[in-house]
Structure 1
Amino acid sequence: MQAGIFKVCLVVVTAIVNHPLLFPNENMTLLANDEQIIQKMREREENLRSQQLQLEQLLSSVENKEENKDETNSDPKEEEPPWDFWSALSMIIFLMIEIWRQDFQDGNSQALNKEEDDLPFIGNHCQGVSLPNKAVLAIFYEQYIRVITHDVAKTREFVEGFADDLLESLRSVCNRDADMEVEDNMCVGSTYENWRVNRPLTCDLIVPFAPPEPYQFKCQPWVANQSIPPDKQGCGTIQVCGPGDEARSCVCDKTKLGEDMVCLLHNPTNKKTDNREIDLLCSKNTNLLDTHQVMKWFQSAVTKAWGKISHKYDFDLSFSHLDSPGALRVKFRSGKIISFNITPVVQFEDTDLYFISHFPSSPVSHDLSHTHWVLSFAVYEKRFLKNIAKHLPMNSCHLSCLQIMSFLHSKQCHITGTSGLSTYHLKTVLMHLILARPFTDWDVVMLEERLRDMFKSLEKCLLEKRLHHFMVGNPKLPQFVNLPEDFQYAEPLNLFRPFVLNRELYHNTLVMFYEMLRNATVLINEYSLNLPALPVNK
């Protein structure tokens, strides 16, 4: 009796161990489409199954000996259920578990098949979709891209002049002893890199700011601060250091001053402002700079600055988005509108790296806390594209590829909605591709081939859920970029990490990408004027 019960328990436990998929909640991290993992699990299952058979044989032999011994010593009136009864019961339990597991796997398989059915082009590596040929692309570029970008120079000239005047007015309305100090603006982004095509043509400017003396900012990027979690890679924190923290960097600590000499910074009689009067824009109960507080301060300061100079201009100025304090829109009496972004940033040491509260081209991320700032490489990226153009053939097609991809992405987003794919990802793919191919391959006559290469590279990155940041941890980065070594030799930063963590976002992005690929020819033909009937490349 005891041996039979023991056997039933042993078989049940063995079946459970042999089939861990009975607990789906504990296996949610398994990627169902990972064939290597599934193959390893199958091998492990076969191994455990063979061990189970060996245990059953060993147990059967032991029980036979025990039964023979019991028959000689037990009362003949007492009868036990035969051994076959326990074997049959064990087999029934085992079969029920096996059927349940198969049903579970079939359900998952159907869900996965349904998911794959939504992605008809997956695995084709862009081979099954025809892109417009050279002639169509050339006509489209001349009749659409050049038409909407011909007035970029005038727009940039106006925005830069007006931004200088607005910031000068902002400095005049701020208290220099108790408010943040605003420096000169810098022009970055797609408009100044000559590849923006989306209307309206929006200029992006960044404005460094610093706290009043004797305070200073201490920036800690993720490469230097081990306390920043992995999901905050690419970010950092900014501490606001007071006079006590700054003393260690003053020369008066290292040099003996004469009796008639005092430190102008630490002289107790030289107190510009009571500390309580200074709004340092920190997060509550911390000394960390708060992105939300900075945005509120900057929006208020811009409003005051415009009120002081509005009488000089014959147009209206308003905020485009309340979540972006520097997203401004100028509306002339003629109805013409010019949009631009002025975003406050904090400079990282003496480099061209800047901590930014959010990127103007993207919505404010709610995944980040108010004390985490995103590190912007915009100045270095602008320098790379400007200098690499000197090594490429005249009238290179690299920016044309990015413009066409950006156009297709924008139109597809209007059809299917936004996804996890942004124009910054497209720009990153292009920059990697420029260094991966010979410079001579970027001649203007190779536009179709390079455009297809961009689609292939982007598809490969999406399927692998891995797109490395172009600047961080890139050993191929040219010397003229002059990126700080801590970032150039850091661990590569995966821009597609959100796809690993968010399955729904990844699925929607893949659907959008393949729809964009499928609609490429239709959209280009639709937005081209008077296209002749041209044969498709064979």
Structure 2
Amino acid sequence: MPAGFFRVCLVVVAAIVNHPLLFPRENTTLQESDKEIIQKLKKHEENLRIEQLRLEQEIARRDAEANMNLEGKGKEDKLPWDFWSTISMVIFLLIEIWRQDFQDGHLQEPNNEEDDMSLWGNIFQAVSLPNKTALSTFYERFIRSTTNDAVRTREFVEGFADDLLEALRSVCNRDTDMEVDDSVGVGSMYENWRVNKPLVCDLLVPFAPPEPYHFRSEIWDSVKSSPEDKQGYGKVKVCRPDEEATGCICDKTKLGEDMLCLLHSKSSETKLNSEMEVLLCSKNTQYLDTDQVMKWFQIAITKAWNKISHKYEFDVTFSHLDAPGALKIRFRSGKFITLNLTPVVQYDDSDVYFISHFPNSGLLNDFSSSTYWLLSFTVYERRFLKEMAKKLPENSCHLSCLQILAFLHGKQSTLTGQSGLTNYHLKTVLLHLLLARPAPNWSFEKLDARLREMLKYLEKSLHEKKLYHFMIGNRSIPESVRLPESFLVAEPLNLFRQFVLHRSIYKKTMDNFYEMLKNASVLINEYTLHVPADHTDVTTKP
């Protein structure tokens, strides 16, 4: 028995003494001989397993002999043979676990993404952002002067859009075509933080089907079959007159053969079935198709412009064919104005809209199916900013921070191309911080502190690949915004969820973000020194 115990101790001591991680070769560092150490570890591991098997067999043989010799003696004088086997197994197991932990922590090949995260963190520590004086000077000399024409540009665009939509209504067939409402101004131009040229106006154009048809909204929360990655999306179903009562008495009462409903005639229903559904719905479905709607809207806009073009002394063209109403107004002087007219469907009786296409959505495009429409909360976001402006100090810096950040992001995108980061993400960061920070913290004197805080919040969100939508699942939104209850109690929506799947886009986004930080001081100083104090936006003046 003592011999068996001695053999166990001998093997353990030999394993420890010969373990390459505990007693490495002289003048050899771990980093310089990783491959050699790994090979030796495998070899020692195999030798230890062989020795363990041999040792177990030897202990078993010796214990069997001892049991024969000590038969009849008290049980307290002997230990079962498997006791020493168990001890040896536990010792070897502990050594193996320790070795694996050490190897995993120090010898495994580093993951590229983890390396990048470490590198990005080091870059951030070395970045020097502009100081308060530089930021204030840059804002006064460049951003404030750039946005001087914003009000006049909005007024011109709104007048032209009203005229264009009125012409659109006149060229459409009222019995078989869509009914178009007045446009709704949204986005940075109407929230007073647009800074990058050209000053683009975004206008939503709600439309509805002709009677007796109607739209039925289906958001992700109410459709059990909706995919998980479609949170924040919905479908728009075109309901026929016979699917759901419209409120007219002809739906509830059988009319005689010699009686007709003046609103819902059979002939008009036949036309609608053959024309409208084929025109706007996805094939073999009753759901609105975003691509079909885009084609219909572009054709309608073209017809409307042809009708009123003789009244104007400028040309109108489509600036992007993959967007419904991305228009460019070019004057004879060479100056131009751009605007986006986007067809949308109102969600119930709220100010939430199903939007067919989002302009400037970056590299991440979630529109994998043309029957899914993204929900737009821009009207509520604009309302929230107005409500917060009443509580913030006079001449607060919240929009100034967003303008500077949007400027830096726009210039970086021009230098290195688009990434997965958009201005909407930047605005979402601001909205979250407006709720999180007391109103006095947003005085203009704290411009540099709030800008740094926005950058830190954005960096943290990018590292975690998690930035929650401000309007969905956020119960802290003030009641004065009047957001529907169904969205307040919904599950939070992560705007960065696509970064988990698109690693190449995520890496490009992180590279662009830290490149933007490194270039921030240079860009701000360059534009501050070379832009005259009376600088105006020459590209958007009619």
TM-score if structure 2 supplies the norm length?
A: 0.76
- Contact kept, 8 Å, 2:183 with 2:205, in 1: the verdict is yes
- Give matches, 1:286-435, under 5 Å: 286-362=285-361, 365=365, 367-435=367-435
Aligned to 2:33: none
Q: Unmatched 5+ residue regions in structure 1?
A: 1-48, 70-90, 533-538
Distance 1:477 1:169, change over 3 A: same
Deviation at 1:254, TM superposition (A): 9.8
Any conservation in 2 of the 1:473–1:493 contact (CA below 8 Å)? yes
Q: 1:61 & 1:252 partners in 2: Cα distance? A: 95
Closer/same/farther in 2, CA of residues 177 and 58 from structure 1, 3 Å limit? farther
Say whether residues 1:202 and 2:200 are aligned partners.
yes
Q: CA deviation at 1:416?
A: 2.1
* Aligned residue type for 1:354: Y
1:371 is matched by which residue type in structure 2?
T
What are the residue-to-residue correspondences of 1:512-527 with 2, within 5 Å? Answer: 512-527=512-527
CA distance in structure 1 between the partners assigned to 2:105 and 2:136 by the alignment: 54
1:47-79 CA deviation, whole Å, 9 max, x = no partner? xx9xx98xx77994599569999xxxxxxxxxx
Residue 172 of structure 1 pairs with residue 170 of structure 2: yes
Q: Secondary structure at the match of 1:529?
A: helix
The one-character-per-residue Cα deviations of 1:360-382 (angstroms, maximum 9, x if unpaired) are: 23269364211010000010011
1:158 to 139, 156, 159: 156
Give, in whole Å, the separation in 2 of the partners of 1:189 and 1:220. 25
| Per-residue deviation, 1:117 | 6.5
> Partner amino acid for 1:409?
H
Residue 250 in structure 1 maps to residue 251 in structure 2: no
Q: Which amino acid aligns with 2:482?
A: N
Is the alpha carbon distance of 1:256 and 1:460 closer, same or farther for their aligned partners in structure 2, counting shifts above 3 Å? same
Q: 1:355 to 1:422 in 2, by over 3 A?
A: same
User: Residue 76 of structure 1 corresponds to which residue in structure 2?
Assistant: none
Q: Structure 2: how far apart are the matches of 1:277 and 1:503?
A: 44
CA-to-partner distance for each residue in 1:7-46, whole Å, 9 max, x for gaps? xxxxxxxxxxxxxxxxxxxxxxxxxxxxxxxxxxxxxxxx
| Percentage of pairs with the same residue | 57
1:102, 1:421 → 2: CA distance?
37
- The alpha-carbon distance between structure 1 residues 467 and 237, as it changes in their structure 2 partners (threshold 3 A), is same
Q: Does the Cα contact within 8 Å between 1:234 and 1:493 map onto a contact in 2? A: yes
Contact 2:186 2:204 in 1 (8 A): yes
SS in 2 for 1:468: coil
CA distance in 2, matches of 1:274, 1:239: 15
Q: Distance in 1 between matches of 2:217 and 2:122?
A: 45
Q: Return closer, same or farther for 1:443/1:216 CA change in 2, 3 Å cut-off.
A: same
Q: Which residue number in structure 2 is paired with residue 115 of structure 1?
A: 116
Counterparts in 2 of 1:110 and 1:175: CA distance versus 1, 3 Å: closer
**Is contact 1:137–1:448 with CA below 8 Å preserved after alignment?**
yes
How far the C-alpha of 1:484 sits from its partner, in A, is 0.5
Q: Secondary structure at the match of 2:521?
A: helix
Counterpart code for 1:301: A
**Alignment of 1:481 onto 2:481:** yes
Change in Cα spacing, 1:529 to 1:295, as seen in structure 2 (3 Å) is same
**Distance change >3 Å, CA 63–CA 263, structure 1 → 2:** farther
Task: State the partner residue of 1:7.
Answer: none
Cα deviation for residue 460 of structure 1 reads: 1.1
Q: Provide the rounded CA distance (Å) in 1 between the counterparts of 2:199 and 2:298.
A: 22
CA distance in 1, matches of 2:460, 2:118: 19
* 1:86-136 alpha-carbon deviations (Å, 9 max, x no partner): xxxxx9xxx9xx99x9799956327456535652536xxx55433212211
Cα shift at 1:182: 0.8
C-alpha distance 365-270 of structure 1, shift in aligned 2 (>3 A): closer
2:127 aligned residue (119, 126, 129) = 129
Query: Within 1, Cα distance between the matches of 2:235 and 2:474?
Result: 23
Distance change (3 Å), C-alpha of 1:57 and 1:272: closer
Maintained 8 Å contact 1:264/1:270: no
Aligned-pair distance for 1:263?
A: 6.3
Matching residue of 1:275: 273
C-alpha contact (below 8 Å) 2:419/2:508 kept by paired residues:
yes
- Bigger CA drift: 174-183 or 364-373? 364-373
CA contact (8 A) 1:465 1:499 kept: yes
Q: Is the 8 A contact 2:120 2:514 kept in 1?
A: yes
Report the secondary structure of 2:243's partner residue.
helix
| Whole-angstrom CA distance in 2 between matches of 1:262 and 1:173 | 28
Corresponding residue for 2:232?
234
Aligned-partner residue type, residue 395 of structure 2: N
What is the Cα deviation at residue 246 of structure 1?
2.4
Q: Relative to 1, partners in 2 of residues 1:255 and 1:284: Cα closer, same or farther, differing over 3 Å?
A: closer
Q: Which residue in the other structure is 1:84 paired with? A: none
- Distance in 1 of aligned mates of 2:425 and 2:355: 18
Letter in 1 for 2:331: F
Give me the whole-angstrom Cα distance separating, in 2, the residues matched to 1:225 and 1:59. 65
Partner of 1:82: none
Evaluate the alpha carbon distance shift between residue 195 and residue 184 of structure 1 in structure 2; reply closer, same or farther with a 3 A threshold: same
Summarize the Cα distance change of 1:67–1:307 in structure 2 as closer, same or farther, 3 Å threshold: farther
C-alpha distance in 2, partners of 1:495/1:369? 18
C-alpha displacement of 1:291 = 0.3
Whether the aligned pair in 2 keeps the contact of 1:208 and 1:347 (CA below 8 Å) is yes
Supply the AA of the counterpart residue of 1:216: H
- Kept in 2, the 8 Å contact 1:184–1:208? The answer is yes
Residues 1:63 and 1:208: Cα distance change in structure 2 (over 3 Å): farther
List per-residue Cα deviations over 1:120-172 (Å, max 9, x = no partner).
536xxx55433212211111001110121111111111100000000000001
**Distance change in 2, residues 1:444/1:105 (3 Å):** closer
2:401, 2:183 → 1: CA distance? Answer: 29
Mapped partners of 1:467, 1:418: distance in 2: 19
- Secondary structure at the counterpart of residue 340 of structure 1: strand
- Structure 2, gaps ≥5 residues long: 1-44, 66-91, 533-542
Q: Distance in 1 between matches of 2:367 and 2:209?
A: 27
Deviation at 1:309, TM superposition (A): 0.5
Larger radius of gyration: 2
Q: Is the counterpart of residue 469 in structure 1 residue 466 in structure 2?
A: no
Secondary structure of 2:421 counterpart: coil
Residues 182-197 of structure 1: matches in 2 within 5 Å?
182-197=180-195
What SS does structure 1 have at the residue aligned with 2:190? Answer: coil
Give the aligned residue type for 1:310: S
TM-score of the superposed pair, with normalisation by structure 1: 0.76
TM-aligned CA distance change 1:530 to 1:252, over 3 Å: closer
Rounded Cα–Cα distance in structure 1 between residues aligned with 2:404 and 2:510: 19
453-462 or 502-511, which deviates more: 502-511
Pairwise CA distance, 1:388 = 1.0
1:444 has 2:441 as partner = no
Give the Cα–Cα distance (whole angstroms) in 1 for the partners of residues 266 and 113 of structure 2. 71
Cα distance change, pair 277–359 in 1 and its aligned pair in 2 (3 A): closer
Does the 8 A contact of 1:143 with 1:529 survive in 2? no
**Would you say how many aligned residue pairs link Structure 1 and Structure 2?**
452
Q: What SS does the aligned partner of 2:218 have?
A: strand
Matched AA of 2:122: F
> Once the 2 structures are TM-superposed, how far is the Cα of residue 359 of structure 1 from its aligned partner?
1.1
Give the letter for the 1:477 counterpart: I
Other-structure match for 1:18 = none
**Larger deviation: 250-259 or 238-247?**
250-259
